Structure 1
Amino acid sequence: MHQNVTTTMDTGPVSRTGAAFRTVLTRDADELARNLTDWEQCYDQMTAGSFRGALTELRMPRTQVFREEISQSVRQSCTVRPGALWFGFPDHGDGTRINGRPMEDGCVMVRPGGGEFELLTPSRHAIHGIVVCRETLARAALRSGCGVDWDGLRSAEVLRVDPDERLACVRAIASALALCQGPERALPAGGEDGLLAALLGVLDRSGVEPAAALSFQRRRRVVARVRDYILAHRDRPLTVPELCAQAHVSRRTLQYCFEDVLGMSPTLYLRRLRLNGVRRQLLDPGARPRPIGAVAADWGFGSFSQFSSDYRKLFGESPSASRA
């Protein structure tokens, strides 16, 4: 049994320009989600075992860079601040999905700010990210003469990029984070400009992946409709036939939609979603104290013994240990 301890180290300003650096170590997926500055996020743990998460983040006046490491597979609901663009560089594409679309090694994920998107990341996942104000990036591109497909970026999810430029950008992000962890805790002069230049090198030789096929978009809508229904009726047991009726699809089609978009069955997803909901409620310090059985019932669990067993298998600890 372990405690769900979160360690945050915020070193404050690391340069005269007001940049700030922090690291976060946590044993709870949702706690990791809440610690990425200026993001609205919710993480659901999908694979069984104790969770370990680490975040290293550098915030500068115009850009934000970070590296995130996660031990278990996680479904992430994410929203970047309005007016910004996010670019994600996973160490490995295998098992990573953005809005249901599988990633390939060597690609870059991108989403504009102000709109929700979904990531499904595998176990032992690590990613470098950079967030930049769109106007800042546009001015930098104009100064450098870099050609950026702005219309494509508005709707893009995946970019195919030059591997050397991608590697250079990842190294620039990693170097900036490492410098802030070093003894001087400072970026060199022009460090932020160097990061923007590295990102523009990626974008100058990138191609936007075509939009998902209409058939896949339909499957994605089915999954979203079922998820909304599950959350709206979280306090009672739901059956697969009921979910099929709500989505207006056959049992086989529902199964195929979930496996294609999320890589798991609808019953497994339902169970994981509800167990994460219970955990989130148990760990909420502002929630009114209630018996664990009552919280489990709120999420549709009728048998406390079965719930407790499933909970322990997924999170590696008992519900009472989580609350403690």
Structure 2
Amino acid sequence: MQEAVGHVWDVEITQSEPGPVETSLNARWIGECHVYSMRSNRALLSSGRRTEDFWTISPITQGCAGGRFRGKELDAGQILVLDPGGEVYQQIVAGHHQQAISIPRDLAERIVQAEHQTSSEALWERWCLKSDPCITNEVARTVERLMNAQRPRGNESRAGMDLAGRMIALVQEARQVPPTRSSLAQRRRIVRRAEDLIRDRLDNPPSVTELCEATHASRRLLFYAFSELLGRSPAAHSKILRLHAARRRIVARRDERCVQQVAFDLGFWHPGQFAIDYARLFGESPSKTRLQRQP
């Protein structure tokens, strides 16, 4: 799923709860617009950035309510409007089912300027939440209908433009949820700096003291920021990132007996504990991962 939406989201998706993960992505293009629906049986975390090329409109239904985006809890009846190039910190709940329509930036700007006589920056400024259950349901029904419909006949580019125009007009009718408080913006900066250090040192995870030094945050604020944005402690997040890195390396070197070396390379000095932690998160042993993915 991470690779399938790479043109819209430049993110890493990691597990937030143990067990085998089952994800699915159904997608199609309507002209230049990308319409898609994602599911997951486990709680996940997406972190990274969006590409500069798309605005995205996502209705928050009961299927994805209860998750969090950039620290704000998502409630059924809201509409998530995501700006090009914005940060992504999304906590996904188990049983997640989310729909979305991504509209090319240049097409969105053309429609906003022509139909609403303003700029997209003035209209939305940045990512935001809108609230209107009727409009949310209308957007969700539109996505569902498009996912199940036959390929449109005639001018597909026109179909995409009509879809984008209709979705933008609908979203503009919904009430905007009050913007994020400044303290949450500060916590995003703390998490971003801490994550940069963690990812730079997967083989030698930084201590809490080093994270506090890098972020200029107290221990208490550091832990609050991680809990609110990622739903994890700094140590838990670091370990999960390292375990996912181990899984990628094991798959990449599946023709070798590499498990122990991969563990050592990522700072897991006790092979037995590494195997236990790995199996607890992914629902299978490192050796099973390697053998199952051999050609």
TM-score normalized with structure 2 length? 0.85
**CA-CA distance at 1:296 after TM superposition:** 1.6
Aligned to 1:14: none
Aligned to 1:19: none
Alignment of 1:1-324 (within 5 A): 32-36=1-5, 38-39=7-8, 40-92=10-62, 94-141=65-112, 150-156=121-127, 158-179=128-149, 185-187=150-152, 191-192=159-160, 195-284=163-252, 289=256, 291-324=258-291
Greater shift, 239-248 or 274-283, is seen at: 239-248
SS at structure 1 position matched to 2:284: coil
Q: Do the aligned partners of residues 143 and 105 (structure 1) sit closer, same or farther apart at CA in structure 2, a change above 3 Å counting? A: same
Tell me the matched-pair count. 286
**CA-CA distance at 1:146 after TM superposition:** 8.6
Greater shift, 133-142 or 82-91, is seen at: 133-142
Q: Structure 2: which amino acid aligns with 1:97?
A: R
SS at structure 2 position matched to 1:123: coil
SS at structure 1 position matched to 2:125: helix
**CA-CA distance at 1:199 after TM superposition:** 0.8
Identity %: 25
Q: Do the aligned partners of residues 41 and 209 (structure 1) sit closer, same or farther apart at CA in structure 2, a change above 3 Å counting? A: same
* 1: CA distance, partners of 2:280 / 2:238: 16
What per-residue deviation string (whole Å, max 9, x for no partner) do you get for residues 67-116 of structure 1?
Answer: 00011121213544433211122333543222233222222222222444
Q: Is the 8 A contact 1:68 1:128 kept in 2?
A: yes
Q: Structure 1: which amino acid aligns with 2:145?
A: S
- More RCO (CA 8 Å, sep 6+): 2
Structure 1 vs Structure 2 CA RMSD: 2.7
Q: Do the aligned partners of residues 143 and 234 (structure 1) sit closer, same or farther apart at CA in structure 2, a change above 3 Å counting? A: closer
Q: Do the aligned partners of residues 193 and 239 (structure 1) sit closer, same or farther apart at CA in structure 2, a change above 3 Å counting? A: closer
Q: Do the aligned partners of residues 115 and 273 (structure 1) sit closer, same or farther apart at CA in structure 2, a change above 3 Å counting? A: same
TM-score normalized with structure 1 length? 0.78
**CA-CA distance at 1:274 after TM superposition:** 1.3
* 2: CA distance, partners of 1:91 / 1:125: 10
SS at structure 2 position matched to 1:170: helix
Greater shift, 119-128 or 288-297, is seen at: 288-297
Q: Is the 8 A contact 1:43 1:74 kept in 2?
A: yes
In structure 2, the gaps of 5 or more residues are none
**CA-CA distance at 1:147 after TM superposition:** 7.9
